[in-house]
Amino acid sequence: MNRAGFLSKVVSGLMCLSYQVVPAEESVGTTFCSYNLRNWLQMERNSVTGEKLAPAPKPEEEKQRVVEILVRIRPDVLGVCEIGDENDLRDFQTRLKKAGVNLPHFEMTRGGDPVRSLALLSRHPITERRSQSDLTYQIGAKILPMQRGILDATVQLSEGLAVRMIGVHLKSKREVTEADEGLMRRAEASLLRSHLNSIFDKQNNPLILCYGDFNEYRNEPAIMEVMGPRSSPHYLHELPLRDSNGLVWTHFWDAADVYSRLDFIFCSRALRPMIDLRRGYIYSVRDFDKASDHRPLVIKIQPKD
């Protein structure tokens, strides 16, 4: 092997070591996971030949694979996108419990999308609920609803430590007739930032964790809107997560063969010292797409003494 090849193997090995996934049971603190489940709900689905079928639930094999992945992660708090109604959530919750992941507390909300909801499931008590389901914005002459609303739940992780969990699923990249999808996402991001600002204005140094499927790239205005100005006390830190190979993509669009980073976790300045990034990761497994087109994001919240 020549020198260049040897150095390449060394660097590759170091990257894998740097982002090695640490199983939840081997570390203390609270394991939080954000995961787009890919339509755990009743909807029209396509046959293998592309024909439209009658409304049906998420295929059983996909459900089983989702649960298997979450058993490996073992979250204490789990934020999900693309869950259906409360019956779907109860089904999901029951399957997790049977597999050994008991998350009895939950918050659920939806916006203008009549099918897809946001949900937060937790092993710890939820002490406050301030989710927003009826937010609207204007583009031109049109008044449009925020498609999935804003999930807002405060979770009591331990005595004296309560974290405000803010979950979103911004407008998809799919083109629609109502308005430009990019402008819709920017408007929804602005509604989220307004909600965040209201929390900062009412509370000194709030512990905020903001997560979800933002359907946007890191350098786009919608993400900048959510994070806020770096010099502002309202700024949210982006948590830089990678998989076991050092890669950052979270979504795979099979029709176009495109890998993208669309899912993010942000936190407030006050919470940032409690995030142990050495134990944060993007869950990586070869057949992840048998469960969802997204990969889960995992962080560890570890209070400082």
Decide: 32 and 209 in contact? Cβ < 8 Å: yes
Mean pLDDT of the chain: 91
Q: What is the pLDDT of residue 54?
A: 80
Work out the pLDDT band at 124, boundaries 50, 70, 90.
very high
Tell me which H or E stretch contains 194: helix 181-202
> Confidence band (pLDDT; 50, 70, 90) for 2?
low
pLDDT per residue over 192-217, tens digit each? 999 999 999 999 999 999 999 999 99
The two structure tokens encoding residue 96: 């997790």
Compute the distance between CA of residue 68 and CA of residue 96 in angstroms, rounded to an integer. 9
CA gap 214, 227 in Å, rounded = 12
Strands 136-139 and 142-145: antiparallel
Is residue 243 a contact partner of residue 288, using CB atoms and an 8 Å limit?
A: no
Superfamily of domain 23-301 in CATH is Endonuclease/exonuclease/phosphatase (3.60.10.10)
**Are 19 and 281 a contacting pair, CB within 8 Å?**
yes
Asked whether the predicted pLDDT for residue 233 surpasses 90, the reply is yes
How high is the pLDDT of residue 18? Answer: 36
| pLDDT (mean) for 287-305 | 93
pLDDT over threshold 50, residue 13: no
Q: Which residues, other chains included, contact 42 with Cβ-Cβ below 8 Å and sequence gap of 6+?
A: 55, 56, 57, 84, 88, 115
Residue 280, pLDDT above cutoff 80? yes
Q: How many CB atoms lie within 10 A of CB 99?
A: 13
The pLDDT, as a whole number, for residue 15 is: 39
Query: Could you give the angle at the alpha carbon of 139 between the alpha carbons of 138 and 143, nearest 5°?
Result: 40
Does pLDDT of 87 surpass 70? Answer: yes
Residue spans of the domains in the chain: they are: 23-301
User: Using 50, 70 and 90 to split pLDDT, how confident is the model at 47?
Assistant: low
Residue 123 and residue 129: Cα distance in Å, rounded?
16
* pLDDT > 50? residue 104: yes
Which residues partner with 297 through β-bridges? 34, 282
How far is Cα 197 from Cα 229, in angstroms, rounded to an integer?
12
- Kindly indicate the confidence band of residue 27, based on its pLDDT and cuts at 50, 70 and 90: low
Mean pLDDT of 180-186: 97
Q: At what angle do helices 60-73 and 86-98 cross, to 10 degrees?
A: 60
- CA 227 to chain CA centroid, Å, is 15
Using the 8-state DSSP alphabet, how is residue 278 labeled? Answer: G
Looking at residue 50, its pLDDT comes to 66
In DSSP notation, 16-41 reads HHHT----GGGS-SEEEEEEEEEEES
**pLDDT of the residue at 49:** 63
pLDDT at 51 over 80: no
Q: What is the rounded CA–CA span in Å between residue 57 and residue 40?
A: 7
Q: Over 60: is that where the pLDDT of 19 sits?
A: no
142 within 8 A of 191, measured Cβ to Cβ = no
DSSP element (H, E) containing 65: helix 60-73
pTM of the model: 0.89
**CB contact at 8 A, 299 and 278:** no
Residues 172 and 181: their CA atoms lie apart, in Å, by 7
Q: What is the mean pLDDT of residues 168-177?
A: 96
If pLDDT is split at 50, 70 and 90, which confidence band does 45 have? confident
Q: Tell whether the model's pLDDT for residue 9 goes beyond 90.
A: no
